[in-house]
Amino acid sequence: MKKTGLIMVIVTGILLIAGTTEFPDWADPNSPASSHVSPYYILKAIDDTAVPNVVSAVLADYRGYDTMFETAVIFAAGLACFFLLRQFNRKRAKTKMYRHVPTGIIIDIDEGGKLPEENSNFERIDSQWTPYDLIIKTTCRIIIPFIQVFALYVIIHGHHSPGGGFQGGVILGATIILFAISHDLRTTIKRLSEKMASVFSSMGVFLFAATGMLCLLLGSVYLDYSALSDLLGTDPVMARSHGILIIEIGVGLSVMAVMIWLYYNLSSAGKHNEGL
């Protein structure tokens, strides 16, 4: 069986390599893509979609199926990592570590001991602990909202300027990870739980797919955003622009949530009780 599989792989590889000899040369200006496809996108993108950013027009409209499945692959990868890394039947630590904020003294409290969780002079810390730094913690709390506003701008304005759902989603997810690194994992999970991250990741894919389904229900083809014109109260060209914006938001949600989902599990070895 192994020999048969090896032979099949070798034969398939030879056929694929042989097929590449029929491909056009790299950057060949006379190739079909350069002589037919690319010129149409460059010349007609604004007329067809009212989107100045040709890259966004291609990815979200002309090549919408591919981008939708790319988003689905990101979600599937996050889901696979969740099942591989997440530990549900974990044993909780018998001791908990706290820092006395005024003095910086660290204390261990054994299981059954009185916890100072209601006392503002103590804060819970991890065994995998980065030394407390007031400057870093305060600076991150100040700059994170500005980074998040920029991330939202990149997502929402991505079809008119450089940016889009993938880029904005990465920036938005990075702000949550920055908060987790500068503070601690438990504080971050209280603000954005693992369940909420999973909901956002699936919601982004659903928003993309549901937009295409809505186009079908309105009598057009899948992901033909011009069908949304009557629903959005605009002309078909501008409806395609609005449709691109909708799916960019969906992509941004999925990318952001999957990044956070992965960080929660990687930084805590799937336990979520301690992290970096």
Q: What residue segments make up the domains of the chain, in order of their start?
A: 50-90+131-267
Report the range of poorest mean pLDDT among 35-39, 168-172, 267-271. Answer: 267-271
Q: What share of the chain is helix, strand, coil (3-state, %, to 5)?
A: 65, 5, 30
Q: Does the pLDDT of residue 217 top 70, yes or no?
A: yes
- Residues 242-251 have pLDDT tens digits of 999 999 999 9
The mean pLDDT of the chain is 85
Tell me, yes or no, if the pTM score tops 0.85: no
Spatial separation of the C-alpha atoms in residues 264 and 194, rounded to whole Å:
8
130 — alpha (psi -120 to 50), left (phi > 0) or beta?
beta
**CA-to-CA separations, 158 to 6, 123, 124, in angstroms, rounded:** 46, 41, 40
Q: What is the pLDDT of residue 179?
A: 92
- Residues 91-130 have pLDDT tens digits of 555 667 777 777 767 677 776 667 676 677 777 776 655 5
Between 175 and 19, the higher pLDDT residue: 175
Burial, 135: exposed, middle or buried (Cβ in 10 Å; 0-12, 13-18, 19+)?
A: exposed
Concatenating the DSSP letter of every residue in 152-200 gives HHHHHTTTTSS--HHHHHHHHHHHHHHHHHHS-HHHHHHHS-HHHHHHH
What pLDDT band is residue 190 in, cutting at 50, 70 and 90?
confident
- Residues 128-186 have pLDDT tens digits of 555 567 888 899 999 999 999 999 999 998 888 888 899 999 999 999 999 988 887 87
